[in-house]
Structure 1
Amino acid sequence: MSSQENPEENLPSVQETEHTSVAVADEENPFADPGLPPHQHRVQDIDEKAARRSERTVAFLFLLSMLSTVGFIAAFVAFPVDQSVYIFPIGRISALNFALGMTLGIALFSIGAGAVHWARTLMSDVEIADERHAIEASPELRAKVMDDFKTGTEESQFGRRKLIRNTMFGALAMVPLTGLVLLRDLGPLPEDKLRHTLWGKGKLLVNMNTNEPLRPADVAVGSLTFAKPEGLEEHDHGFQTEIAKAALMIVRIQPDNIKDKRELDWSHDGIVAYSKICTHVGCPISLYEQQTHHVLCPCHQSTFDLSDGARVIFGPAGHALPQLRIGVNDEGYLEALGDFEEPVGPAFWERG
């Protein structure tokens, strides 16, 4: 049989090397298998001191990850939410967010960098060509997979490099703690923050538009005025958090038109003050109809009657708006006589 009749005679010969095979190219056959290049030993393969240095480097990265995880937990506890820090060139940002981002980033990066350095310097880097096989695994193939797994375990030196193994386990075990501490916010808030606002006895009612304290003469019958507590400024870091609880709307109604006796006792000359935060989902109420004394939430159309204790007369809101008891101080300015008696906003008071 000639070479033309038997194509196998045109296949290149194969030369075995220490770790792989290299095919001798056949100039007449451009589709000949070029094989794999000879394996090049790394310095860690021939120098145990270099291997130990790599081992210590990997262990250091895993240890750094563990320390960063501890730093994440410490930052979560230590930094208050409203504290800020100046970072050039970003500007002023939340100190808590910066600390959490840095520590968690270092923790995750150190695990990845340690694993990569381990693989590149200590694990086997020998390239092995494997023939394609059927999808269904034969018993022989399954046995080969188990043998390869054992071989890979030995070549990775997982059992030999105990320092790497132990620090890796420590880093992987501690990183999930960063997510566990976040569950703290699902529990009771310290100091019961949702139950109290900045309003208190003697706090002046300050006009949100003019930033000036309000006098009774500033509130006309049929008008709607928005107010904030004295001392709360828009440039304050925690302004949005506090105004979300303390936002106030003031309406002047003829005393004869006020139906609720308690509302009348807590007002001053027909001036009533109610929370601006809707009790449905917390939207700011901004629409007032002076003939009916109704206020409307623009989000879901919950309607409250300010002449009757701000009770709900329409819409999905489940509770009346909390009223703020007000009076006039010696200088003639409107002031709060305490805080809201119930929490503002949606459905908080249904919690146990």
Structure 2
Amino acid sequence: MDGILLLDAEGNIVDVNSSFARMHGYTIDALLRMNLRELDTPETLALAPEKIRQVLAGETLGFEVEHYHQDGHILPLDVAASAMDIGGEMYVLAFHRDITERRRAEQELKRSQQQLRGLSKAANEALEAERRRTARELHDELGQSLTALKMDLESLRHDLPPGQPELGERALAMHALLDGTIAATRRIAADLRPLMLDDLGLAAALDWLTHNYSKHTGIATDLVIDDSVAQVPEPIASALYRITQESLTNVAKYAQATTAEVRLERDGDWVQLAVRDNGRGIEAADQDKRGTFGLLGIRERVSLLGGEVSIAGEPGRGSEVRARIPLAAADAEAVA
């Protein structure tokens, strides 16, 4: 049962029911000698006069408060308050519901969400590290071995005895196969993680990405990078590269666009990435669907760094994915 409290304009307790007394650990007689401020925590006390004034002015309010229990622990309560006229005097009638269990559940959920974010962040970092290692090995080990094999095959072709054209043709076919394998190895390594992101930085990696994107999709893509964010520390650089990569992939898959623009700039203590296109746009009803057009991964990456993502677009007028990440995220990562 709800605890019921009746107050006068000064906050003096005029009447309570047994439930209110029981939830606070006092007797009814003790409460009738008290003022509300003796129960309120400092945060609640600061708001109480205005709440009383609003209710006595005729408003019906719903809000949360915190009271001290008689043993000193804090009691969170949900309150519904309205004015009551008794003999020409106005009083505040307030119904109180103990929300301790709800608060505990909310705090537990918050802790679980924080743990989940931590696990997701660790998984992303581990995946990026594995991609970096695999890409480096593909480039340095397999790539170099294939190149050496190609050189040996080229030497062997020149040493083939004359009068055996079938051997020359087979060697030429093997040479073409090696060329294709070397190209595929480089492409796979770059897709995993472009080495220039580690060696030359974000600006060079985005330049390579947009150039190859335009070449393979036919979508003319402009890259504009402010000098102040040409070199961005990890893990922000990896996140921005992956967000750009995913956004451009979505443009190629869904937008039916002919042009795109990638813009990277600084906005105060934030770095901001915008990927725009001139395609068919995103329907308004789709913009709130977290998984629409593969945007879930982008939202997750940005969220893990304390950033923000916005998606804008109109049918027939293109779309824009905008991600903002605080530069402090890199400092937090360094401390962690």
TM-score in terms of structure 2 length:
0.22
Q: Comparing both structures, which one devotes a greater share of its residues to strand?
A: 2
Q: Comparing both structures, which one devotes a greater share of its residues to helix?
A: 2
